[in-house]
Amino acid sequence: MVERTRWFARSFAFDLEPSAFPNIVERVRGTPARLEERVRDLDAEALTTRVEGAWSIQENVGHLLDLESLWAARLDDFEHGAERLRAADLENRRTHDANHNAARLVDILGAFRREREAIVERLERYDDALVVRTSLHPRLEQPMRLIDFVLFVAEHDDHHLAAITELRRDVASGRARTARPATT
């Protein structure tokens, strides 16, 4: 299998036509269902096992929930015409400190679904002018339109869904994988 690129090593070409916005919104809308499907048949041990120090499956799920407030805040930035989007905590302290492995998975999934539905409701109200409004991404140091930001969120979701799939394989087979820092 091809090795995934670390999130912080990724680069992005933001070149979607604005007419792709409904498709990207659908991708973001579908993440809770895809996430629930990936974890529904796993027991607590499989969900909370860390492989080589990386986040467990349940911690990856919790991390997705943890970032919903950042995504919502960045939507605020776009709505208010901010020149620069607010910065993320690049150390992921919220996820590291949350002890997601001690929580009930059903609670994390439910909260994620509610938060994501609220984001999608906002996205569905945006007009053409807002979809192409631009703001500077603080880590990438490149301008992004709101449509690009939503693609960024979808790519981040998929990054963690792929991590969960890898962990499912690793935990099921008992194989260890190469250590990777637990980053978004």
pLDDT digits (tens, 9 = 90+) for 90-105: 999 999 999 999 999 9
What pLDDT was estimated at residue 175? 56
Global pTM reads 0.91
What pLDDT was estimated at residue 77? 98
Determine contact, residues 176/170, Cβ cutoff 8 Å: yes
Q: Give the CATH architecture of domain 17-173.
A: Up-down Bundle (1.20)
Cβ neighbours of residue 87 closer than 8 Å, sequence gap 6 or more: 138, 139
Secondary structure E strands in 3-62: none
What is the residue-averaged pLDDT of the chain?
92
Residue type, 180: R
pLDDT digits (tens, 9 = 90+) for 126-179: 999 999 999 999 999 999 999 999 999 999 999 999 999 999 998 877 754 443
Determine contact, residues 61/108, Cβ cutoff 8 Å: yes
